[in-house]
């Protein structure tokens, strides 16, 4: 819990710094390098654990059910959201949900694909909603992974992470759900990653 609070403080500090300070041009590249280093560290920890073969063997046909359940649940609740919002259609809400945490790709795709039908202003607004909602999804896992693990079991943080489980949210998930889920995290994240452009394009059409 302390780690989640610390993550929230760092995130808030970053938002404030980004709003009021001039950031150097190399900062985005530095962030990517830090992410790669974290992934290297996760790999080293797994390699040292001595049960790497067992971890790889856990990836079987049944593991497919996890990303399928994640996608199905996300689209279902996105559709329910569309029933509650009069401003946006069910398809629009499902396009936003189809980002699955992949905010950089989904927001750009939605803005481009919806411009012909909605106009540039509304398309940009919907793209911004996709950006924010998928960022919040990622932050939910980074901050709330311990609670998701407690309430929903070891796969709770995994399902909430969506496409981000292969990279950004993996360390948080492994910390609370166990290192044995590393192969499942990678498989889950990569499979959902590949589904994002197809799902977003389908619901935008």
Confidence at 36, pLDDT banded by 50, 70, 90: low
114 has pLDDT over 90: yes
- Write down the pLDDT at residue 66: 92
Contact indicator for 200, 99 with CB cutoff of 8 Å: yes
* Predicted confidence (pLDDT) per residue in 152-197, tens digit: 999 999 999 999 998 889 889 999 998 888 888 888 988 898 899 8
41 has pLDDT over 70: no
Contact indicator for 106, 123 with CB cutoff of 8 Å: no
Residue 1 DSSP SS3? coil
| Mean pLDDT for all residues in the chain | 83
* Predicted confidence (pLDDT) per residue in 125-152, tens digit: 999 999 889 989 998 998 899 999 999 9
Confidence at 19, pLDDT banded by 50, 70, 90: confident
d(CA 204, CA 57): 38
Confidence at 58, pLDDT banded by 50, 70, 90: low
- Write down the pLDDT at residue 106: 86
What the block records as the tokens of 62 is: 């049944």
With a pLDDT cut of 90, the percent of the chain lying above it is 41
- The pTM score is 0.74
The single residue listed with the structure tokens 């990303």 is 67
């Amino acid at each position: 819990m302390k780690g989640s609070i610390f993550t929230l403080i760092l995130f808030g500090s970053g938002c404030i710094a980004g709003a009021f300070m001039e950031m150097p041009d190399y900062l985005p590249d530095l962030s990517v390098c830090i992410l790669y280093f974290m992934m290297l560290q996760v790999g080293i920890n797994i390699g040292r654990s001595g049960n790497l073969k067992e971890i790889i063997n856990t990836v079987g046909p049944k593991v497919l059910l996890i990303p399928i359940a994640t996608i199905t649940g996300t689209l279902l609740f996105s559709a329910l959201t569309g029933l509650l919002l009069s401003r946006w259609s069910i398809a629009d809400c499902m396009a936003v949900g189809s980002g699955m945490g992949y905010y950089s790709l989904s927001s750009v795709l939605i803005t481009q694909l919806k411009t012909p039908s909605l106009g540039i202003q509304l398309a940009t607004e919907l793209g911004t909603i996709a950006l924010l909602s998928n960022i919040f999804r990622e932050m939910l896992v980074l901050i709330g992974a311990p609670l998701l693990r407690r309430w929903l079991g070891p796969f709770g943080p995994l399902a909430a992470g969506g496409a981000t489980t292969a990279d950004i949210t993996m360390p948080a998930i492994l910390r609370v759900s166990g290192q044995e889920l590393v192969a499942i995290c990678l498989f889950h994240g990569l499979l959902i990653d590949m589904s994002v452009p197809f799902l977003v394009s389908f619901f935008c059409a």
